[in-house]
Amino acid sequence: MYYYLKIAENILEGKGASFDGINTTNGFHPLYLLLILPIMKIFLWNKLLASYSALILLMLFNIFTAIFIYTIVVLLTKNKDAALISAFIWLFNPWNIFIPMTGVEVAVSSFFIGASLYAYINFKIKGNNDFSKIRIWQIVILGILLGLAILSRSDSIFIAIAIGLDIIYNVIRKKNFFKNVGKIIGKIAILTLTTILTISPWIIWSRVNTGLWVQGSGVALMYNSMNGIGLSGTLYKIMFGGAFGLFKIFNYTVTAPFLALIIGLIIGSIISYKIKISKIFRNILIFLALALLVYAASLPEAVHYPAGLVVAVKLSIVSSLILLFGLIIGLNTKILSMKEKLNKKNIENNLPVILGLLFMTGFYLLLFWHHQPWYFLSILLLLIILLGNIFDILLSKIKKFRIKKAALIIILVLSLLFIIRLTVLYSASICPWQHDMYSGAIYLKENISEDAKIGAFNAGIFSYFSDRTIVNLDGVVNYGIVEYKKSGGKIINYLRDNNIEYVIDYPCFLSEFKNEITPIYSVPVKYDPFCENSGPVIYKVNNIRGEK
pLDDT for the residue 247: 64
pLDDT for the residue 11: 96
The pLDDT confidence band at residue 150, using thresholds 50, 70 and 90, is: very high
The residues with which 24 forms a beta bridge, in sequence order, are 18
The residue that leads in pLDDT, 296 or 15, is 15
- Which DSSP state fits 17? S
The pLDDT confidence band at residue 233, using thresholds 50, 70 and 90, is: low
Render 88-103 in DSSP notation, one character per residue.
Answer: HHHHH-HHHHHHHHTT
Helices (H), 448-514: 460-466, 479-486, 491-497
Q: What letters, b where the CB count within 10 A reaches 16 and e where it falls short, cover 24-51?
A: bbbbbbbbbbebbbebbeebeeebeebb
Q: What letters, b where the CB count within 10 A reaches 16 and e where it falls short, cover 177-188?
A: eeebeeebeebb
Q: What is the pLDDT of residues 36-45, one digit of tens each?
A: 999 999 988 8
Average pLDDT of the chain is: 85
Question: Span 389-406, mean pLDDT?
Answer: 74
The pLDDT confidence band at residue 548, using thresholds 50, 70 and 90, is: very low
pLDDT for the residue 449: 92
Q: What is the pLDDT of residues 417-440, one digit of tens each?
A: 888 888 877 776 667 788 899 999
Q: At what angle do helices 307-333 and 279-297 cross, to 10 degrees?
A: 160
The pLDDT confidence band at residue 176, using thresholds 50, 70 and 90, is: low
CB 221 within 8 A of CB 283: no
- Measured CA to CA, the distance from residue 474 to residue 370 in angstroms comes to 12
- Which DSSP state fits 19? S
Please report, for the chain, the start and end positions of each structural domain, with discontinuous segments joined by +: 2-63+98-224, 434-546
The residue that leads in pLDDT, 236 or 59, is 59
Question: Span 145-164, mean pLDDT?
Answer: 96
